[in-house]
Chain A
């Protein structure tokens, strides 16, 4: 188990252009589950690959367990990686797939069986040891990939979007399995995803990246309730936070905080809301429409409601946002600022 650190890490693929990863500083905590979250092209996978040793940094340092590893091969870094496609060796049985790292590290043959069986039972795939990868389902393949990763007892786990190839239904249970796996094994894990639901559910901490730059690093609560800038604010949460320009500020409030006025007891900012679309999702309603009157006239906003029976398409209603849930961002820097008094009319 070790701490992964990067210092001013940068990767530039094409000279003169913005790097894929720009001056990233991070330090994991021992045993934590850290998520790199960001859209495609944000550099999260490149960052992971540099930590793994599959890409050479343009500048900056990578440290694992306090040791600078820039010049070490992946093998020497004592990391294990699970690829998006799982990268199982198709011509080898599950047993041989899991045993391969042991073979490659010249572990004595007598010890292989014991370790493979330990890893396989940890992931519940002991019955599949004789099968070939093509005979396995997506979820089973993920477990084989994990078994192959754990069998060497690495210092750090690196996972590159391992759930993105699974069916939506399977994803939830696979996600839960990963969480349980991490609690059992406790190895420092870095997990890359573009899915903010996964990030929120699984991460001890989430590092939000965009265009190769770290936007925020914090717990799920931090990034969701106290976003550092408008990018983080809109990237997390679905539908995203409602944002509107007001003078030299950008004001934001989440759809679940935009409720019919009668239901709010705390001090709140009132809005007149014209309903234009209602979606019933079973567990909740997503209602979208435009604000009427005041400085935010015509602004499209979303609301999440547990019940919308009384709302009609085209109807106008009194909605409100509790003051405590309003977020303020500086318009030019897009960074979060302290709440201020503003006039809404």
Chain B
């Protein structure tokens, strides 16, 4: 809009300052992880050294340590395994449920949909106590299967909600046309809806996977031995030997575990927002 030139200049300057401040405040810890990962120990633990500079040559020692002398790789594998299985379970439960609630709904569908969403609000920090007993009873303590059993409790409700709004946005006429062409309703679901919904399903996959990697409480409660840890719990618990924090390796681990998830999440951001805003944004 028409404004004086100097007004525009100051406006841009303020804009730049605001962005810079927030970006630095929010991203700084990761930058710090990056630097710390590659600094030699004697550089890290000498107080006089300027921590913003590399006072000694950068080193790959911490990364090497992480991959060879800790169970880091194993934890990555555990997390990937749990992630894949939980994604499969979530899809199996959530996709049909979301479809039926979106299409064959009426009043019951609305109510059930809301009820399912509300279960997302029941936090792990409430359920972990009774669930620890259930897990022990089933003989699953210290097993990844405990997590596989329990994780869908938070991945499924949100996935149903996300997919419901997605399915609702596909016009009903498509299935009607398919049924006129001879498919049954279930056939229309499998042969028509699922292929069209690939992007929605992909969103659920990514979202579920990120939820699995971020989870802490259940992983902490149910898993005890070092080799069965997930990435979110192994790093804080087992990269501390006694009271000694191996900060270099610790920071490297945090960075390596965080960045891929960040990339994936970033790609699918718009869909996640749509899920959270429960249709408040149309």
Contacts and interface: CB of A to CB of B under 8 A. Distances in A.
B1 A54 contact: yes
Contacts of A73: 1-3
B4 interface: yes
Interface in B1-45: 1-4
Contacts of B1: 53-54, 56, 73-74
Q: Which of A54, A69, A73 counts the most B-chain CB atoms under 10 A from its CB?
A: A73
Nearest to A73: B2
Interface in A34-58: 53-54, 56
Name the residue in B1, B2, B4 with the highest tally of chain A Cβ atoms < 10 Å from its Cβ: B2
A111 interface: no
A320 B75 CA distance: 90
A72 B3 CA distance: 6
A71 interface: yes
Interface in A54-86: 54, 56, 69-74
Interface residues of B, number: 4
Contacts of A71: 2-4
B281 to A, nearest CB: 14
Contacts, number: 16
Interface string B78-115: 00000000000000000000000000000000000000
A71 B4 CA distance: 6
B98 to A, nearest CB: 29
A18 B2 CA distance: 22
B66 to A, nearest CB: 50
Nearest to A74: B1
Contacts of B3: 71, 73
Interface string A10-32: 00000000000000000000000
Contacts of A74: 1-2
B181 to A, nearest CB: 34
A4 to B, nearest CB: 15
A276 to B, nearest CB: 35
A70 B4 CA distance: 10
Contacts of A54: 1
B229 to A, nearest CB: 51
A54 B3 CA distance: 10
A69 B1 CA distance: 12
Which of B1, B3, B4 is the most central at the interface, judged by chain A CB atoms within 10 Å of its CB? B1
A278 B2 CA distance: 54
Interface in B160-216: none
A53 B1 CA distance: 6
A54 B1 CA distance: 5
B9 to A, nearest CB: 14
A69 B2 CA distance: 9
Nearest to B4: A71
B48 to A, nearest CB: 54
Contacts of B4: 71
Interface in B229-252: none
B215 to A, nearest CB: 39
A251 B4 CA distance: 52
Interface of B: 1-4
16 contacts: A53-B1, A53-B2, A54-B1, A56-B1, A56-B2, A69-B2, A70-B2, A71-B2, A71-B3, A71-B4, A72-B2, A73-B1, A73-B2, A73-B3, A74-B1, A74-B2
Given A53-B2, A56-B2, A73-B2, 13 more contacts: A53-B1, A54-B1, A56-B1, A69-B2, A70-B2, A71-B2, A71-B3, A71-B4, A72-B2, A73-B1, A73-B3, A74-B1, A74-B2
Name the 5 nearest CB pairs between A and B, nearest first.
A53-B2, A73-B2, A71-B2, A56-B2, A54-B1
